[in-house]
Amino acid sequence: MAPRKLLVFWVVFMSLFFFFTDPPFASAENVNFDFPCFNFRNLTFLGDSHIRNGVVGLTRELTVPSSSAGTVIYNNPIKFFDPEANITASFSTRFSFSITNVNPTSYGDGMSFFLSPNNRILGSPGGYLGLVNSSQLTKNKFVAIEFDTRLDLHFKDPNDNHVGLDIESLTSIKTADPILQDVEFKSGNSITAWIDYKNDQERLKVYLSYSSFKPGKPALSVDIDLSEYLKEVMYVGFSASTEGSTEVHLIENWSFHTFGFVPTRPRLQPHNVSDTDVVVSPRIPVSGSTNKHHKRLGLGLGIAGPAFFCVALVVFGYVSVSKWMNMRRQKSFKAEVIAGPREFGYKELKSATGGFHSSRIIGHGAFGTVYKAFFVSSGTISAVKRSKHSHEGKTEFLSELSIIAGLRHKNLVQLQGWSVEKGELLLVYDFMPNGSLEKVLYQESGQGTLLDWYHRLNVAVGLASVLTYLHQECEQQVIHRDIKTGNVLLDGNFNARLGDFGLAKLMDHDKSPVSTLTAGTMGYLAPEYLQYGKATEKTDVFSCGVVILEVACGRRPIEREPGSLKMVNLVDWVWGLHSEGRIIEAADKRLNGEFKVEEMRKLLLVGLSCANPDSAERPTMRRVLQILSNEAELLGVPRVKPSLSFSSGLPLSIDDIVSDCEECSSPTSSMCEIIIN
């Protein structure tokens, strides 16, 4: 039989087959499963979730404060609505969990049990509980019970220990404090939770206990009709997240079942069904008369042809509309930036980078990988930044493009152009032949030219100049949020050029900064930024102060003490020498004293004043520029490093914030990245 005829035969055959047999979901079945312990067979693990010794971990177990998000989802979709009977299922679930902290002074953010029509739900770290994306708060649809361990005023949390019902938003419909039932989420003890929803009563209840006995009184009771949120098919699972924390979320066991569907067929007794299998009743065929069979055959043949044609028409229409919408979105995007930098062709950039060959890689940024590009037609060299993932990187791409395209300063990396073809997001910059300040400062001995004192001082002045421009001279203030030596590039004359605006935020000068998700690099983050998540110009000043100290001392922000496991904080180390009147001893020994003592003293003291733990005592970048340019007097720096005080409990001590980085085992990897999409 010819292939084309065979295809037609199978289409007609399958159409008749499905017509004569009942639909696979002719009637809904109640579902029941029980996991006394876990394995990989029945679950989907996303993000940082994992399994160890039969226990599910939702976040990473690290001794160093970090940011993490993980989700685990039951593989099989579960029916919650029977369209034939117009019945929404009730459900009940029971699970045991624990929330522990390697560092007792660290906390946040919590976990949740959720139901969602999406089986790929994975959100951002921090207060987003791994449920929603920080840049698309309304994208994920869900019904969730949150077990929150951090007070987040952005989501109107009542305290740092509460259970709440969330529907498609992290602002809870209703919350309750489990401490009223002597349950503390952060105790580290195993807690058993029961969640019951009865559709006929339109009521959801949450019970919590340290024991395996269900208490008589619920911790949370909400009168609500979930029928409009429980779709025909849903997925169930757990999610959790942390932000600058060592909190670990574990699920020890889990059982779940739906009820309320009325069986419409006799059930056969299942055999050899494990306790992790879903119980589904087998189908029983029903015979009919020959006459009815012939009628159904004729009717089936009459319907199969038109039905197949309609399906083909719908598929063709869907593909056509999708292509049209994609072209429209691309044209709209191009229209937004048409007045900006040049649009490059994808083929041109691919050719210039040797097909994005690994040998052309010159660095990595918040947005993606950076390649060296040779343009044969013009004989020029550029740097091309390529996104890691087209969807996740689009927010950072638009952020960087919209910000840097409108900025002009001699100490900024100049954007040449962009491309959005082939699902790739690409930015083209001026090429910086001397690479990053980090690379030059910390290169192995004998592998390059040591940065002399004149160039170091020039780098500090250039960085202060460009930050003054961003903070005070732009129409809209720009907070960079990721000032570090890796993002300070050096041109052919070793002038500083600030780049990587993937984390930058625009704000009006007359508006207070809004709360944002903590982002940046450990060792450069201001204490109040880690505490409150608010990026201000003073958080950039703190990071700049750390960079200035690196330039003067030739040491990383966090380094392991030679011959010891102790981690040394650069700011603390320099301040210690200052308190003893020996601050000049902090100067980079590789300079061999080839610098002006007063200039070195000034640079070190400017670095300390910028890195003051008290943000109110830090100077503006304009004042820093004036001091380094000898246009203003040096600020007084206290001999003893100021102590921190916050209105609420600090998640980390100041030593933990900038010193406790146990993952940093070598001088070449002495910083922990905290990057959030």
Q: Which of 82, 109, 482, 588 is catalytic?
A: 482
The Cα 64–Cα 57 span in angstroms is 17
In this structure, the number of other CB atoms found within 10 A of the CB of residue 199 comes to 21
**CA distance readout (Å), 386 to 134, 401, 521, 632:** 22, 13, 21, 42
The Cα 80–Cα 88 span in angstroms is 6
Q: Dihedral, CA atoms, 193, 198, 204, 205, nearest 10 degrees? A: -40
The angle at the Cα of 446, spanning 443 to 447, to the nearest 5 degrees, equals: 50
Output phi, psi for 423, to 5 deg: 70, 10
The Cα 461–Cα 603 span in angstroms is 10
Secondary structure (3-state) at 111: strand
In this structure, the number of other CB atoms found within 10 A of the CB of residue 53 comes to 6
Cβ within 8 Å of residue 247, ≥6 positions away: 59, 99, 100, 101, 106, 107, 108, 109, 149, 186
- The one-letter amino acid code at 173 reads I
The Cα 95–Cα 56 span in angstroms is 12
The Cα 28–Cα 48 span in angstroms is 34
Residue 227 near residue 90 (C-beta atoms within 8 A): no
Output phi, psi for 238, to 5 deg: -130, 150
The answer to whether the annotation marks 385 as part of a ligand binding site is yes
Total residues belonging to the chain = 677
CA nearest 540: which of 519, 558, 557, 561? Answer: 519
Strand partners, 384: 371, 428
The Cα 455–Cα 496 span in angstroms is 9
Residue 482 known to be catalytic:
yes
Cβ within 8 Å of residue 488, ≥6 positions away: 436, 437, 438, 459, 463, 496, 497, 498, 499, 547
Q: Dihedral, CA atoms, 646, 649, 651, 653, nearest 10 degrees? A: 60
The Cα 449–Cα 456 span in angstroms is 13
The Cα 82–Cα 169 span in angstroms is 26
- Residue numbers annotated as active site: 482
Residues making up the annotated binding site for ATP are 385
